[in-house]
Structure 1
Amino acid sequence: MVIKKQLILFIFSFFAINASEKPNIIYILADDLGYGDLGCYGQEIIKTPNIDKLASEGMKFTQHYAGSTVCGPSRSVMLTGRHTGHTYLRGNGFLKMRPDPLDMIFPRALQKVGYHTATIGKSGLACNSDDGSFPATKGFDSFFGFTAHYRAHWYFPNYLWKNGKKQNYPNNTLHDGDKYSSDLVMDETLNFLDKQKDGPFFLHVAFQIPHASLRAKEEWKAKYRPILKEKLLPPKEHGHYSYEREPKTTFAAMVSYMDHNVGLIIAKLKELGLDKNTLVMFSSDNGAMQEGGHKRSSFNSNADLRGGKRDLYEGGVRVPTIAWWPGKIKAGTTTDHLSGFWDISPTMRELAGAEAQADTDGISLLPTLFAKGTQEKHDYLYWEFHEEGGKRAVRQGKWKLIHLGIGKKLKPRIELYDLSNDPHEKNNLAKTHPDRVSELSQIFKKAHVKSIKPEFQFAEELNQKQLAKRLHGNKKSH
């Protein structure tokens, strides 16, 4: 243990980070942005020049994975440093993280070493809480935005929360109004940066965009009408999501507007002279959505990866990820290092000189980011998801095993893919590689800890009597 601590201290000093001037950290998270929605990841129609420039001036990850395939558990994984086999929040619903010391998040550790911590946008602490003071109790000094994920479906909210106080917008009707939530989020973000000149700070900017509802400002939609030449859909009443007569035009406009906002953040850092001492990371909480009138096929949003949001195929969990820090991260680099959201907590803690996390499933990415030292690698990556019949997946090296239909049934559908030869997951090798299936299935047993919430339990946990009978019968047949 002493040797390990000394090694951590040596690695930290090796990166030449001045202890008297701790780096600022900005972690930007898009909502439902697909692997193929950015120009630097192959998008040919939607323009994202600012994020593309981040990639050209920094590092692009090609095998970075979200914590889950929907927002609630994915964000929990990122904040807690634990994958969905260990987190309390393993799905969407009317849940929120438990009070400290349960479900500890890494911003709390950063607070303890002098960081001002803030989250602006869509809170990752709860799915559908309406407690505006909750972020402060979990480790954020400042908060502005949505505490309830379902309210973040609308871009003209009746109210948002700011440091425990409700900010009302009486002219907003959820679907329309005079206060566009993404504008409000950006105003707060830029104002926050103006007040943090002395640092150090950690800022988590959690965009709504491009999650449905589809809503964009007219000036951004106008840029795409001549390109897409989209025929207007007939008028219709709004449902849960806002009805949009130009879904393709609006989706493209939203992504470009989000890209514009990333550009504003970078410009503000440069204006304040903070760019040389700030790590900026950009990612998405899960794969491409297909909601509110948007179709993934409209822009090849999943970049030919199979599936999207709510799938454990690559299109549902592999996400675009970029790291930028002028002078620290080599410009124009690409990494295929296998990593995921549970790596963010140990990475940020080490970068900030904060206490290491004892119960993390993650590994610090600093050796990869700074191209110094030896990057420790994951033995495997693991996900479980409890909607659509229940599913779980593990990736180990080039192999990926998926179990489907495990929520109530004791016999799942099994799929095995060799991602080195079949990145699109078209050729199921489960029948021809039974030994590999058996080997990877053992990982499920050690990666999964039974949840205290019945809705996040699998068939073998809910149906112990049936399982025992089935196993006993199998023994007799042999």
Structure 2
Amino acid sequence: MKIKLILWVALVSAIVISCAQEKTKKVIGKQKQPNIIYILADDMGIGDIGPYGQTKIHTPNLDALAARGMTFTQHYSGAAVCAPSRSTLMTGQHTGHTPIRGNKQLVEDKDGQVPLPKNSVTIAEILKDAGYTTGMFGKWGLGFDEGDPNNQGFDEFYGYNDQKLAHRYYPPYLNHNQELDSLEGNDWTHKVTYSPDKIRDHRLQFLEDNKDKPFFAYIPLVLPHVELISPNDSIFKMYDGKFKETPYTEDNKYTSDYGPNIVTYEYSPCDKPKATYASMVTRIDAYVGEIIAKVEELGLTDNTIIMFTSDNGPSPEGGTSPDFFDSNSKFRGYKRDLYEGGIRAPFIAVWPHKIAEGSVTDHVSAFWDVLPTLTEITNTKNPKNIDGISFLPTLLNKDVQKTHDHLYWEFNIKGGRKAVRKGNWKGVWNKMNLKGDKKGAFELYDLSKDVSETTDIASLHPEIVAELKGLMLSSRTTSKYFPFN
């Protein structure tokens, strides 16, 4: 009897211990899966923030973020405009393979871009399947219906689906999952609720609501994409009167003011465009500071990865002054260009006790590398046919970092544009320039000697030209919605 009792007690003890160990495993597992916050600015140049040399615009929170982590000097956006850049990020495929390769309405004069196909595998879907709660707060631009964020892996979506609506900062509504959320006081005439602040409230609430489980917060900010408009608050007053201004008026192309005659997808006029643009970049910085403060308040700092970048180069439209602010730094070109200024992006990554503070890397990477990096971090599987390579070894300064044989971009405007980077060689092919003048010549640059792409040396290296032309042909598949002539 005594022996049976001892065996029974031992069995119960084993079960209790086993359950306790299993519970501990689950808790440890949750603690080991890091929270991920990916912040994406819109049309912000690499030179617009302090860590990359900006002197006229204040970005103290981003300066501090860079001091706490790693700054990349050779990181590239997915494309030279909004939608395809986001598509490369979500799918891990460059613009020769990703489904969305340009800014294109699905139906002319109707809301919504060509949708990301339902069979696409996104970062959000991968992380959601791995137990993450996923949220997206800001500008989507990858379509309604099958392309909607809720159908592409995001548990919660708040912001703009249609990127044409995102040309305005005082719209009457924003999207909240499958509902429209009216913005108080906004009616296309009156400007009461500044949409970026409303989006800010939802993303901070998301962090609060999900503090006890792993989360992925994708934060594609709308700022500083034109229109140029900012609340008349302390941030704007930092710059008001600081610069010599030329008002941007309704006489300019693609411009209309709020009121009964508003064209909603155009940009608003602006009396003080330089001060306004500077305030919009500093507002980004303030939002970043709020996110950092919330993470710290919730006690999540040590187990949270924060990444910050921009979707393409600076826009020269709507009254902006990229040359005045040196927004593209030392690089040639702007948004829509496949020169370095159109696609070279800032990238800062912070992960306490994992990424060395104040570190800088010249590793060559691009948006399509983010997906495999996050899958390696979370021990999940990559989808088939991605173009990305994990840069986790660079972040951790461990193991051997694999590198790309080459990087490829395409954009089917003005007859077509392509670019390839292989090593330090950069090939650029423009069928026409933005003015519509036929060009057609293949340009070659050595970025190790000419990072500003000032001197075309194609005639000196015919063998390199032939190789890069071949890569331009082999690095793409055909696209129904984005044909390439």
Number of the residue aligned with 2:322:
296
1:191/1:452 CA distance change after superposition, 3 Å: same
1:426 matched residue in structure 2: 454
Question: Following the alignment from structure 2 to structure 1, what is the Cα–Cα distance between the partners of residues 207 and 480?
Answer: 40
Change (3 A) 1:421 1:316: same
CA–CA distance in structure 1, aligned partners of residues 248 and 431 of structure 2: 37
2:483 corresponds in structure 1 to: 457
- Give the structure 2 partner of residue 225 of structure 1: 240
1:90-136 superposed Cα distances (whole Å, 9 cap, x missing partner) = 00011333443x2221210111110001100101433xx4x599211
Q: Match for 1:404: what amino acid? A: N
- Name the CA distance, whole Å, in 1 between partners of 2:415 and 2:430: 7
Residue in 2 that maps onto 1:48: 59
1:86 aligned residue (92, 97, 102) = 97
Aligned: 1:77 with 2:88: yes
Residue of structure 2 in register with 1:10 after alignment: none
CA distance in 2 between counterparts of 1:235 and 1:32 reads 22
Shift in Å at residue 232 of structure 1? 5.4
What is the distance in 2 between the residues matched to 1:175 and 1:286?
31
SS in 1 for 2:419: strand
Give the secondary-structure state (helix, strand or coil) at the position aligned to 1:103.
coil
SS at match of 1:441: helix
How far apart are 1:196 and its partner, in Å? Answer: 1.0
Percent identity of equivalent pairs: 45
User: Unaligned stretches of 5+ in structure 2?
Assistant: 1-26, 106-112, 258-262
Give the conservation status (yes or no) of the 8 Å contact 1:24–1:200: yes
Deviation string for 1:209-235 (max 9, x for gaps)? 000000112122211124325465678
Question: 1:387-466 maps to which residues of 2 (within 5 A)?
Answer: 387-405=413-431, 412-453=440-481, 456-459=482-485
- After TM superposition, the runs of 4+ consecutive aligned structure 1 residues lying more than 4 A away are 231-237, 406-411
Once superposed, what is the RMSD of the aligned Cα atoms?
A: 2.2
Determine if contact 2:173/2:180 at 8 Å carries over to the other structure: yes
Q: How far apart are residue 357 of structure 1 and its match?
A: 2.3
2:161·2:175 contact (CA, 8 Å) conserved in 1?
A: yes
Q: State the partner residue of 2:229.
A: 215
Q: Tell me how far 1:292 sits from its aligned partner.
A: 1.2
Residue in 2 that maps onto 1:179: 193
The change in CA–CA distance for 1:440 and 1:159 in structure 2 (over 3 A counts) is same
Task: State how far apart, in whole Å, the 1-side matches of 2:311 and 2:73 are.
Answer: 15
Residue 206 of structure 1 aligns with which residue?
A: 220
State the partner residue of 1:67.
Answer: 78
Instruction: Tell me which residue corresponds to 2:114.
Output: 96
Are 1:330 and 2:356 an aligned pair?
yes
Residue type matched to 1:112 in 2? D
- 1:176 is displaced (CA, Å) by 5.0
SS in 1 for 2:469: helix
AA at the equivalent of 2:83 = G
Contact 1:287 1:316 in 2 (8 A): yes
TM-score, structure 2 length as denominator? 0.86
Listed one character per residue, the Cα deviations across residues 402-459 of structure 1 (whole Å, up to 9, x for unaligned) are 1110799999321000000000000000111111100111111220111123xx2222
Is the Cα contact below 8 Å between 1:133 and 1:163 reproduced in 2?
A: no
**Is 1:107 matched up with 2:133?**
no
Say yes or no: does 1:38 pair with 2:52.
Answer: no
The secondary structure found in structure 1 opposite 2:305 is: strand
Q: Per the alignment, do residues 165 and 132 of structure 1 end up closer, same or farther by CA in structure 2, a change over 3 Å counting?
A: farther
Change (3 A) 1:175 1:330: farther
Task: Describe the SS at the equivalent of 1:50.
Answer: helix
Q: 1:18-57 CA distances to partner (integer Å, 9 max, x unpaired)?
A: 6442100000000000010001101010000001111111
Name the CA shift for 1:216/1:444 in 2 (closer, same or farther; >3 Å): same
How far has the Cα of 1:164 moved from its partner?
Answer: 1.1
Work out whether residues 154 and 174 of structure 1, in 8 Å CA contact, stay in contact via their aligned partners in 2: no
Partner of 2:135: 118
Matched residue SS, 1:319 = strand
Residue of 331, 348, 370 corresponding to 1:305: 331
Q: C-alpha offsets along residues 282-310 of structure 1, whole Å, 9 cap, x if unaligned?
A: 00000011121112112011002100100
Which one-letter code corresponds to 2:410 in the other structure? E
Q: Once the two structures are superposed, what CA deviation does each residue of 1:124-178 show, in whole Å capped at 9, x if it has no partner?
A: 433xx4x599211111001000000010110001110112111012521447511
For 1:436 and 1:317, locate their aligned partners in 2 and report how far apart those are by CA, in whole Å.
22
Distance 1:434 1:231, change over 3 A: closer
The structure 1 residue matched to 2:274, chosen from 239, 242, 248, is 248
Could you tell me whether the CA contact under 8 Å between 2:246 and 2:273 is conserved in 1?
no
- Report how many aligned residue pairs link the two structures: 437
Structure number with bigger Rg? 2
Structure 1 portions without partners, runs of 5+: 1-16, 460-478
Looking at structure 2, the residues matched to 161 and 447 of structure 1 have their Cα atoms a distance apart, in angstroms, of 36
Is the aligned partner of 1:366 residue 2:392?
A: yes
Contact 1:97 1:103 in 2 (8 A): no
Name the CA shift for 1:409/1:24 in 2 (closer, same or farther; >3 Å).
Answer: same
Contact 1:111 1:139 in 2 (8 A): yes
Matches within 5 A, 1:181-200: 181-200=195-214
> 2:177 is matched with which residue?
163
- Shift of residue 208, structure 1, vs aligned partner: 0.4
Q: Judge which range, 292-301 or 274-283, deviates more.
A: 292-301
**Equivalences for 1:315-354 in 2 at 5 Å?**
315-354=341-380
Structure-2 change in CA distance of 1:410 and 1:304 (3 Å)? closer
Distance in 2, Cα, partners of 1:234 & 1:30: 25
Instruction: Normalising by structure 1, report the TM-score.
Output: 0.87
Q: Contact 1:235 / 1:245 at 8 angstroms: preserved in 2?
A: no
